[in-house]
Amino acid sequence: MEAQYGGLGRCACSFWLAVAFDIVGLTVLLLGVFVSVFFYDLLIYAGAIVIFLSLIWWVFWYSGNIEVPPAELEDDVGLLKKKRSAGGIGGAVRSLSSRVSSGIRNSFRRNGGGGTLGSRAQRSAARTPGSQRTGQVSVAMETMAPQESTLHPADPPVAEVAMPHTAMETSPT
């Protein structure tokens, strides 16, 4: 059931895009190096960037042509063979891993999930007796009398400004 592909493999489009990006990038780069224009540095950088972007298409082409036999895929989708899953180091590691991950999963369920800080704060505030949240918090601002300054005789006098009494109410947002 093996399909026959051409010499380029399954992803010929990615191959040709990679080649096109390399040709365009190299052309722009060489134009920047050998042609006497005032924006030669732009051409050099643009050519290098286009060549770098061609690496994406090369990776697509390469990874698209990797062939994995179906026997090796069985283990990835959870269809373990009986002889492999029975014992040995692999079986011990698998059972230890499932025990640890299920323990971690169950601890999250017991503790109410990994909630946000706000929900934790609300839960702790709800647990403490007599804690109520009020809608507004008032903050009073008061002016203070100027204190005697210990200025040196050579220092110029400082003008005193009286501030009116103000009160401000704020609400937590």
**What is the distance between the alpha carbons of residues 57 and 20, in angstroms, rounded to a whole number?**
10
Mean pLDDT of 90-106: 82
- What is the average per-residue pLDDT within 104-131? 60
Taking the C-alpha atoms of residue 165 and residue 64, their distance in angstroms, rounded to an integer, is 75
* Residue 114 confidence class, pLDDT cut points 50, 70, 90: low
Work out the average pLDDT over 84-108: 77
Structural domain spans, the chain: 12-66
Q: How confident is the model at residue 102 (pLDDT cuts 50, 70, 90)?
A: confident
Summarize pLDDT for 120-153 with one digit per residue, the tens: 555 555 555 554 555 677 777 777 777 665 556 5
Mean local confidence (pLDDT), 158-165 = 72
Tell me what pLDDT residue 131 has. Answer: 47
Mean pLDDT of 72-95: 66
- Among the residue ranges 17-21, 49-53, 167-171, the one predicted with the least confidence is 167-171
Provide, rounded to the nearest whole percent, the portion of the chain with pLDDT above 90.
Answer: 30
Spatial separation of the C-alpha atoms in residues 156 and 164, rounded to whole Å: 26
The pLDDT value recorded for residue 42 is 96
Residue 160: is its pLDDT beyond 90?
A: no
